[in-house]
Amino acid sequence: MPRLDARCKVDLPVNIIYGNGGTNKEEKKARFLEVSLSGAYIDYKYPDPDKKIIGLRYELPKYGEFEILGKVIRGEKAGMATQFYNINRDAKLKLWDYIKENIVEGTICPYCGKDNGRKVKKCVVCGWNLDFNSPGYLVEHEKESFINRLTTRCKTFSLEDIFKVLNFVDVEILGIGKCWDINEEFVGSSRPMLEIFSMIRRVAPTELPVLITGESGTGKELTAMAIHERSLRKEGPFIPINCAAIPENLLETELFGYEKGAFTGASNNKMGKFEYAEGGTIFLDEIGELPIGLQSKILRFFEDKIVERIGSKGGKKLDVRIIAATSVDLKSAIVKGVFRKDLFYRLDAFRINLPALRERGDDKVILARYFLNKFCREMNVSKTFAKEAIDAIKNYDWPGNVREMINKIRSAIVMCSDTTITPSDLDLRIPTIDNAAAVSSLRDVRNTLEKQKLIEALNICSNNISKTAKVLGISRPSVYSLKKKYNI
Ligand SMILES: Nc1ncnc2c1ncn2[C@@H]1O[C@H](COP(=O)(O)OP(=O)(O)O)[C@@H](O)[C@H]1O
Ligand SMILES: [Mg+2]
């Protein structure tokens, strides 16, 4: 592997610090003979090859003392090569200043050690930039060597490590969703959920309407919020309205508002949810329940972005993104004539279909543990799942999906009298069969099959008892006794 950093020859005192089987630390004096931003060669033979991590304390002529960690990567007769760890930004900048001063100007590349024949700005052999004093050199260099370091390290990463790193970059460095904590709240690492997260990321910055489908409790509203929070409208409002929860006669006023005097009792003007959503997103939950008359008003909004309060003389133009969700099949609602086809195609510009919890594999347990920790923290208690509880969580079908899991875990924490939550605390008892019935029905099945196979075998073998015994893999006397048993 080519070197990732320019190195130079030096003669700089360093104290090597290593633990001595506990809190005792020992220090030895040595010298850096070569140093780069990522490591150094030290004229010291480390006595214990098992303890590879050491402390390194050194003093840079202009800057004073630094202490960093080093890992011994190679021991040689005359000394050892170490790699630097946890070197902070300040220490690194100062070390770079020191290295720069010690790099011998010449034709030899301080990265690969090859002779370029003349002074060049870029090594013709390894390609590294050699123009050390150019502005921004260190930043560019660090970026490039960062990629290289990540490449070598990530060979040992598991898939989970990779997600952790990407998540860290997204949340901690780029700040995506940090204020809203989407990453903490939207839990899932099963393949179908990763696909959902990627769809959310892709559709969020567009202005497309989104149709979210899935059983109740699968996270449709959470998905709608996640899209809003990652969209350019995130500073605007997110206004949810559940079309199934509001009586039909009130739904129109809720969605579109009314003018004073529009009907008896309309003593003031009222803003509708669409108006509240100006500059943001409206989330029409259970859109399949929207009465057909209101569907045409939504369709009008799609066409000219205008909504009209009840009793108003004209409409109002609004800037609102529509996200809709349904737990019923809208295509069959179209066939039944209760949902407008043209509205369906408007809404279905981008579809996200949330998988049922039972289809999410290991996510069942991951989510259960996540909620247990979350609720325990909230309730200031400490509980864990018994192994049987984990098995029950894995095997249960979760018809109410994540919402059902939340409810079961919340009440389990309250129900469970000690610290270990059992399947019965979760109300997930393994179903027990009525024993007597099970045994008798099994016996019936067995008898029917036995009789049927015996008749078949006797027919095939033309009632030859020896042949029948051979075909069935039983003895001749057994064939006789079965014939007697079933009266054949
Ligand atoms: N993947 C998930 N991670 C964490 N919480 C979830 C997840 N999916 C759903 N929830 C939670 O489950 C509950 C039901 O989700 P919701 O979005 O209301 O479902 P739906 O709208 O599909 O009925 C909410 O409290 C939501 O925060
Ligand atoms: Mg919902």
Confidence of residue 182 (pLDDT cuts 50, 70, 90): very low
pLDDT for residue 183: 46
Higher pLDDT, 137 or 291: 291
Least confident of 102-116, 122-136, 437-451: 437-451
Closest CA to 103 of 75, 124, 123, 82: 123
Average pLDDT taken over every residue of the chain = 87
With a pLDDT cut of 90, the percent of the chain lying above it is: 50
pLDDT for residue 2: 58
∠ Cα 348 354 358 (to 5°): 155
Tens digits of per-residue pLDDT, 197-231? 999 999 999 999 999 999 999 999 999 999 999 99
Whole-number Å distance between alpha carbons of 352 and 369: 26
pLDDT surpassing 70 at residue 23: no
Tens digits of per-residue pLDDT, 240-249? 999 998 888 8
Least confident of 130-134, 168-172, 332-336, 366-370: 168-172
Confidence of residue 305 (pLDDT cuts 50, 70, 90): very high
pLDDT surpassing 70 at residue 289: yes
The arithmetic mean of pLDDT across residues 281-310, rounded, is 94
Least confident of 104-113, 269-278, 410-419: 104-113
CA 217 / ligand 2 centre spacing (Å) = 7
The arithmetic mean of pLDDT across residues 310-338, rounded, is 94
Helix, strand, or coil (residue 315): coil
Least confident of 86-100, 167-181, 417-431: 167-181
The arithmetic mean of pLDDT across residues 45-62, rounded, is 83
Contacts of 423 (CB under 8 A, 6+ apart): 386, 388, 389, 391, 392, 429, 430
Confidence of residue 450 (pLDDT cuts 50, 70, 90): confident
Helix, strand, or coil (residue 343): helix
Domain 187-352, architecture per CATH: 3-Layer(aba) Sandwich (3.40)
Q: Is residue 69 within 8 Å of 53, Cβ to Cβ?
A: yes
CA 370 / ligand 1 centre spacing (Å) = 13
Q: Which tokens belong to 420?
A: 């270990």
Confidence of residue 123 (pLDDT cuts 50, 70, 90): confident
Contacts of 359 (CB under 8 A, 6+ apart): 192
CA 213 / ligand 2 centre spacing (Å) = 10
Q: Which of 50-64, 337-351, 467-481 has the highest mean pLDDT?
A: 337-351
The arithmetic mean of pLDDT across residues 410-433, rounded, is 84
Least confident of 42-46, 94-98, 167-171, 396-400: 167-171
Give the atom of ligand 1 at the shortest distance from the alpha carbon of 188: 1
Confidence of residue 75 (pLDDT cuts 50, 70, 90): confident
Q: Is residue 16 within 8 Å of 54, Cβ to Cβ?
A: yes
- Which of 402, 406, 407 maximizes ligand 1 atoms within 8 Å of its Cβ, making it the mutation to test the pocket? 402
HSE toward the beta carbon, residue 341, CA cutoff 13 A = 5
Domain 8-146 has CATH 3.40.50.1220: no
Nearest ligand to the C-alpha atom of residue 241: 2
Distances (CA, A) of 136 to 57, 129, 133, 141: 28, 11, 9, 8
Does 91 sit in the ligand 1 pocket, CB within 6 Å?
A: no
CATH of 357-421, one of 1.10.8.60, 3.30.70.20, 1.20.144.10, 1.50.10.10: 1.10.8.60
Q: How many residues does the chain have?
A: 488
Whole-number Å distance between alpha carbons of 249 and 263: 12
Does 366 sit in the ligand 1 pocket, CB within 6 Å?
A: no
The arithmetic mean of pLDDT across residues 289-315, rounded, is 93
Question: Which residues make beta-bridge pairs with 317?
Answer: 306
pLDDT surpassing 50 at residue 137: yes
Max CA separation in the chain (angstroms): 107
Confidence of residue 325 (pLDDT cuts 50, 70, 90): very high
Confidence of residue 430 (pLDDT cuts 50, 70, 90): low
pLDDT for residue 181: 45
Q: Angle, nearest 10°, between helix axes 159-168 and 137-154?
A: 150
DSSP state of 199: H
CA 303 / ligand 1 centre spacing (Å) = 31
Confidence of residue 434 (pLDDT cuts 50, 70, 90): low
With a pLDDT cut of 70, the percent of the chain lying above it is: 92
| CA R_g for the chain | 36
The arithmetic mean of pLDDT across residues 300-329, rounded, is 94
Q: Which helix (H) or strand (E) holds 172?
A: none
Give the atom of ligand 1 at the shortest distance from the alpha carbon of 327: 22
CA 288 / ligand 1 centre spacing (Å) = 19
Helix, strand, or coil (residue 56): strand
Nearest ligand to the C-alpha atom of residue 403: 1
Whole-number Å distance between alpha carbons of 398 and 377: 24
pLDDT surpassing 50 at residue 447: yes
Q: Which tokens belong to 413?
A: 């924490």
Q: Which helix (H) or strand (E) holds 384?
A: strand 384-385
Whole-number Å distance between alpha carbons of 235 and 228: 9
Higher pLDDT, 20 or 25: 25
Q: Angle, nearest 10°, between helix axes 401-415 and 363-379?
A: 50
Higher pLDDT, 467 or 271: 271
Least confident of 77-91, 297-311, 376-390, 428-442: 428-442
